Homo-oligomer: A and B are copies of this chain.
């Protein structure tokens, strides 16, 4: 069983709780299988209804059903949504996503800003009144946005307060804004990972780098190092073939040194059974150290 290094901003009386949350989320191996269910705000209904998307997905219940059945580390969603479905899925480890914005305004109109909806006080109250196993919080920052100062301020405080209370903290870190010309440039993404290390989060989620002349899995190494003791996971991105998806994930973990994955669309846009099987396949690679072939067998049932 792995050792958990507890950050020093966790209050002494909450160190045990922090360790429990960390072990629960990472199934005692330190790798995170994050099932992302927060995109009904970020992408409105485009991830949930339309061509190539299973009809099940039109209703938010679908995501909870997957989270309740599949092997996952945490299910990330907004508090308000969890408050309406959690009573039927009381065993799922939840991560409260504290900020979200729609995609209606493009960067060409104005730089992105995603303000917190609720704070740690509310998360703690909610954990108590709901009795759900809430293990941590998530927050998105846009580095290079004209609102960066407010985002860093909010992120630093939320992470600090989450730790105090024994909660994990995960930061979605995206370079974005008029000042950013290439959001997937490896060196820039490594910089973003380093910023999150300075914020003190437990995990940083970045986009998978992309650059002419270098394999993404190689390019990601710089970010893994820059993040230091903050563990790095990549966003799953848009819906792709399962085999390619699983291979990429395996590369991120075994070539780049990533500590898991954060996957939404690739799972919940599939019909229920297939979605559960894919989630289990992702879990197999992430947590159970399976090969791509073994994972594919799980996916194919």
> What residues make up the interface of A, taking CB atoms closer than 8 Å to B?
5, 7-12, 38, 40-41, 44-46, 48-50, 58-61, 77-87, 100-102, 104-106, 109-110, 113-118, 122, 125-126, 129-130, 132, 143-144, 146, 148-150, 152-153, 156-157, 159-160, 163-164, 175, 177-180, 187-188, 190-195, 197-201, 222, 225-226, 228-230
Contacts A78-B198, A79-B156, A117-B153 supplied; 15 other A-B pairs, CB < 8 Å: A8-B130, A9-B129, A40-B226, A41-B194, A44-B194, A45-B193, A45-B194, A49-B222, A59-B225, A81-B228, A102-B191, A104-B175, A116-B153, A118-B157, A122-B160
Residues of chain B within 8 A (CB-CB) of A45 are 187-188, 190-191, 193-194, 222, 226
> How far, in angstroms, from A200 to B44 measured CA to CA in the complex?
15
Least distance between A7 CB and chain B CB atoms (Å): 4
Q: Separation in Å of the A19 CB from the closest CB of chain B? A: 14
What would 17 A/B residue contacts be, using CB atoms closer than 8 Å?
A5-B84, A8-B83, A8-B87, A8-B130, A9-B129, A40-B191, A45-B194, A46-B187, A46-B191, A50-B187, A80-B197, A81-B200, A81-B228, A101-B148, A115-B152, A117-B156, A122-B157
> Residues of B contacting A230 with CB < 8 Å?
84
Flag if B178 contacts A109 (CB, 8 Å): yes
Q: Which chain B residues lie closer than 8 Å to A12 at the CB level?
A: 129
| Chain B residues, Cβ within 8 Å of A109 | 146, 178-179
Chain B neighbourhood of A110, CB < 8 A: 146
Number of copies: 5
Taking a contact as CB atoms closer than 8 A, the residue among B9, B114, B122 that contacts A149 in the complex is B114
Contact B41 A104, beta carbon cutoff 8 Å: no
Set of chain B residues within 8 Å of A164, measured between Cβ atoms: 125, 129
The interface residues of chain B lying within 8 Å CB-to-CB of A153 are 115-117
- Tell whether, in the assembled complex, residue A191 and residue B44 are in contact, meaning their CB atoms are under 8 Å apart: yes
- A198 neighbours in B (Cβ, 8 Å): 38, 40-41, 77-78, 80-81, 100
The answer to whether A132 and B8 have CB atoms under 8 Å apart is yes
Say whether B152 contacts A59, CB under 8 Å. no
A9 engages B115 (CB within 8 Å)? no
When the two chains form their complex, are residues B228 and A102 in contact, meaning their CB atoms are under 8 A apart? no
With A191-B46, A194-B48 known as contacts, the answer to whether A229 contacts B148 (CB < 8 A) is: no
Please measure, in the bound complex, the distance between the C-alpha atom of A81 and the C-alpha atom of B2, giving whole angstroms: 22
- B residues less than 8 Å from A84 (CB atoms): 5, 7-8, 197, 200, 228-230
What residue of chain B has the Cβ atom nearest to residue A12's Cβ?
A: B129
Chain B's closest residue to A59 (CB) is B225
Q: Provide the residues of chain B in CB contact with A118, threshold 8 Å.
A: 156-157, 160
Contact check, B117 vs A85: say whether CB atoms are below 8 A apart: no
CA distance A79 to B191 in the complex (A): 18
A193 and B59 CA atoms in complex are apart in Å by: 11
A194: B residues at CB distance < 8 A: 40-41, 44-45, 48, 60
